[in-house]
Every structure is written in structure tokens, then in C-alpha cells.
Chains A and B, each alone.
Chain A
Amino acid sequence: MGTLSRADVEHVAHLARLGLTGEELTRLEGQLNHILDQYEILARLDTDAIPPTAQTIELENILRDDVARPSLTVDEALANAPAREGDHVVVPAILGGE
């Protein structure tokens, strides 16, 4: 299947939004490649005609009426926010400018 280079490891860390130290990247490069080697066993199975399984217990779609009901208050929902202003969560600007 694949072998991960250092650049690949850095790319995947970026996709996952994980800030990793140089030491962590080095250790992960070795460990991830060792784990990927274990996946090679799967290539021995011919699965071309096999459908994938995502859900093991056969359930039909379960629908309910679209009725408003009580939920968390604004204060409860915001109580864990690291930074809050009024009824809003404070986040850094994402559109440039000030």
C-alpha cells in the first residue's frame, strides 16, 4: 500500500490540525510505517465483489416528528467557552483586516 515520508507525515498532521514537535514527527514516522506494514495482510484478500459494511445492525430509518422542545439555555451552552462576549463565542478573525 504506502510508505510515509517525513513530508507525508507533516502533511497528514496539517490535515488533522495537530501541531507536532520535530521529535513527535520523527517518532510518528517510524511508528506509522510500522503500523502500515501490518495492514499489508489485507491485500491478500480479494474483496472486489464484497460490499462494504458501515452499519452492523440492520435498522430502518427512524424518524420522529419535528417538534420544538426544551434545550440548553444560551448561558448553559456558552458556559464552557474559553472566551465569551455577550451571547457569543469569541474567535480570532478569519477574514483578515483588523
Chain B
Amino acid sequence: MADRALTRLAAHEMAGRLRAGEVSARELAAAHLDEAEAGNGALNAWLVIDRSGALAAADEADARLAAARADGPAGLAALHPLCGVPVGLKDLVTVRGGQCTAGSRILAGYVAPFDAHITERLHEAGAVILGKLNMDEFAMGSSTEHSAYGPTANPWDLGRVPGGSSGGSAAAVAAHHVPLAIGTDTGGSVRQPAALCGIVGLKPTYGRVSRYGIVAFASSLDQVGPLGRDTRDAALLLHAVAGRDERDSTSAPIAVPGELLTLPASDDEAAGALKGVRLGLPREYFVAGMEPGVEARVREAVGALEAAGAEIVDVSLPHADYALAAYYIVAPAEASANLARYDGIRYGHAVRDGDILANYLATRGTGFGAEVKRRIMLGTYALSAGYYDAYYVKAQKVRTLIKGDFDAVFGAGIDALVAPTSPSVAWPLGARMDDPVAMYLSDVCTLPVNMAGLPGISVPCGLSDGLPVGLQLIGPAWSEARLFALARAYEGITAVAAWRGMEPPGLATASDPAGPIPALRAAALAGGH
């Protein structure tokens, strides 16, 4: 088999071939490293491609696979399916001895002294970490343009954004640099880039995955989620990282569902999950300003689900219109507190400019980018004396109403909600950079889910003007296995659609110096930030 063909396999197919001894983890790692190194100049999806570390991890995985094969079926059954499978990490997950910039200049040069919980879990599973992926600085953004290391391009059109903040993760998976990647989702940062890059992304229930070793943005909202090219792959990655960790007191002592490992291989069998299911269509999510092509694809998907046996029920989430404003108080407020730790004293970027106050001002003023400063300012204001009740407490009360809307719908027997993931397809690089409110609106369909702590998944549902559209399914707390089963069913009923399995057309030209990314990256590194 030619190396490039290895990068076109699904992770679950790689798992099967690894176990059968038909391919080695080293061959898989090498093929993906080659693909990533060749394509990264045009995409800037990776901040680190760790060839030596990945090959060493692949050799360890090959040794484990060989030992398990020698032990027979029981030995193989004891291995996690991701043993030997390449994975990428958003660059806010610590890996001992490696960089962890969170896309920020203020963490340039920082070397992580410990592994995140999910890094430990991936090591235990035998997954092969290829490197670290680009992101909006501190996960604040919807386009990956707010990275101190330059923007990432969308593999479907190198002149467009991949979404964000996990844009590097989504672009690398869509471009076949890696079959699976970890992202984080505070207001849509896994689901929205997954939608814009034509892949699957899940934001788990708050508390499902430990955040120990993940750079914090907004602690009551942040969750870690998987991105993959299909539902079965993404479910395997969630299974590998989910579960209680006593070092994150918000991680919940709730069992990780075994069904994540056994989603149906057969499209017909998968479609059976739709029989008798009640899906709610929240009218508030079909927002003014949604692109007609996006609405058309989502409504076609709803029609397909109904034709396959699901009951579609019109529902209302009456406080949805207030979620954007409430989110943009809560998230910046928590961010301003979390980012107070970047003081240039114990680690990270440091400017010595006189007394300690002058050092703080200079370190933070030069270390943070424009969007992070904007959010710190908003959050500091919302928490300041005289405004705390008017803004922060008010937003937390509205949050109660938003959560109550979801509780009422699920309490009335709706199994899951169906909605768009993003009101638009990927937009041109730079188009929203001077208008923060327009940028914030791109998360209007995803951030209510974070405010309520619920799980949501985005799956591809077709193209509009040649660019991917995402369908979002939202469920009650701890319903990830159900969401994956429903999303897998949707894959099953659309398995023969023309857009399934399409290569992103930007890949045909994704080699240096194609597209605007190399120049934008050079400008960012030179300080034009």
C-alpha cells in the first residue's frame, strides 16, 4: 500500500489493520507525518510536528501490538482501539517536556513540566501523538485568526478560515494529516470548526473529560472534545480520554459508556437507531441572518431523518436570543480571572520595565493579543465594583433560564434537538477581524449548549457553494452515546450522498507557497498582531 493511501483510512480501519498486523504504527505515523509536513506550509494547522517523539511512540505501540497478538484474542481485546493510531493535540494540552503556547506569545518558550490527564490517558491507550495544533489565542475566537503564530487555512478553500478556536485541529483532520484530534469547546470551539471543515466534532457534557493540564479559558464552560472524519472515530477518541480524574474536581464520577466503542459498522443497522426517536426542531435556532444555503442543507437533513423514522417536533427555547449576550459576560469574566496568572513572574513571557506594576503592565500589554485584551477588559469591567450585579449576576440568572429551556424540552420527551451548527459556511480570511460582534455571532447556535453544560455534536450534512455545512444534535446531560448513535444513523442514511468522502479541494493546491497563509504567518511572527 502506498503511504498516502494510509492517510485516507478511518481510525477504526487503522485499528483493524494494526491488530491484524497488516500495517505497523510506525508506517501509519510516518505516512501522516509526511502528509502533515508537506501540507503545513499552506495550512499552518500545526505549531509542532514532533517526528522523533511520534516515531518513538509508534515503536512502543508496535511492541504492545506484537505482544498482544502473541497473547491471542484476549491480548488484543485488552488493547484500546487507538493503540498505534495517530492523534493531534490542540496546543493548550500539556505534554511533559513540550511547548504549550495556547496560541499566545505570553506562553512562548514555556516548557510543560507535566502531562495533562488526557495526555496520560492517550499514552495509556497507546495513541501516537503527532504534535500540537494551532488555535485562537487562549481559545478566544471563531476563526483561528487570533493566533500569535498566524492563521490556519481551511482545506476546502485556502483563502478562508477553518473556524475556531480549534481550527488547527479541524483543518489537520480534514486535510488527512491525522485521523483524530483533540479540541476544546467553550462556546462552540470544537463543533463550529468541525462544521466549517466538513468533519465530526463533539462537545461533551460539562464534567465528562478532565481539564487537568488544559490551559483554562472560562472554567464553568470549558470542555475537551474529539474531532474526526466520522462518528465512529470521534467516539473512540472520546472513550480514550473521558472519565473521572481526581485532579479536576469538576470531572464527574460517571461511567464512560462502552457503546462508544461499538457504534454499528453497517449503515442500515445504524439507521435503525432513528425508529421512534423524537427530535426537536428549536425555532429560535433558525436565526435571522442565517445563510440560505445553510438553512436549506439543515432542513434537507431534518427531512432525511424524518423519512428514516424519526418524529420531528417543533419546539421552542424561548431564551435562546439572550444567550449570546449572557455568554459574552460570563466567559470574559471567567477569562479575566483565569488569565490573571500570566504575570511574567513564575513562567512565560516577561518584560522587566521598572517596578513590579510596570513589569505587569509591560508583560501583559505585550504578551496578549488584541482579542484576549478585549475579553480581559470586558470581563474585568463586568466584575468591577458597581457593575458586578448589573452584568455578571444578571448573566448568571439568564443562564438559569437558558438551562431551564433545555430541561423543559428534554423533560417533555424530546430525545435530542436538531439545529444548524453555524449560521454560515467558512468566510474569507480577514472578513470579520475588525468587527468583534460579527465574529461573536458565528457561535450563536453553539454557545447556549455550553451555558447549559450539555453535550452537542456537529456532523457534515452537505455543501453550500462548495463549502461544508454542519448539522448539530444536542442532548441531555450524559447522552453522548445517544448523540453518537443518532449521528451515526444520519451518516448511515446519507452514506451514498455525493458529498460524502469528497476530498477538500484546497488539498490539491496545498503545497508551498500556495494561498495567503505563509505571508500571514510571517507577518504574525514578526509582531503584526
Contact = CB atoms under 8 A, between A and B. Distances in A.
B394 A42 contact: yes
B391 A57 contact: no
A1 B390 contact: yes
A51 B325 contact: no
A80 B346 contact: yes
B399 A19 contact: no
Contacts of B453: 56-57
Interface in B429-480: 436-437, 440, 451-454, 477
Contact of A41 (B321, B359, B381, B477): B321
B321 A18 contact: no
B490 interface: no
Given A16-B336, A81-B346, A4 B111 contact: no
Instruction: State the majority secondary structure of interface residues on B.
Output: helix
Interface residues of A toward B: which range?
A: 35 or more
B328 interface: yes
A94 B366 CA distance: 22
A7 interface: no
Contacts, number: 162
B110 to A, nearest CB: 6
A51 B397 CA distance: 6
Interface in B111-146: 111, 113-114
Given A81-B347, A82-B344, A94-B356, A39 B329 contact: yes
Given A42-B394, A89-B345, A19 B377 contact: no
Contact of A57 (B114, B206, B380, B390): B206
Interface residues of B, number: 73
Given A50-B397, A81-B346, 11 more contacts: A12-B380, A12-B381, A17-B364, A50-B398, A55-B220, A56-B452, A57-B206, A59-B252, A80-B113, A82-B344, A93-B356
Interface of B: 110-111, 113-114, 205-207, 220, 246, 249-250, 252-253, 319, 321-322, 324-326, 328-329, 336, 340, 343-348, 350, 352, 354-357, 359-362, 364-366, 368, 370, 373-374, 376-378, 380-381, 384, 387, 390-391, 393-401, 403, 436-437, 440, 451-454, 477
22 contacts: A12-B381, A15-B384, A17-B360, A17-B364, A18-B373, A19-B365, A35-B328, A35-B436, A39-B328, A41-B322, A42-B322, A45-B322, A52-B396, A56-B220, A57-B206, A57-B207, A59-B207, A76-B113, A81-B345, A83-B350, A92-B352, A94-B355
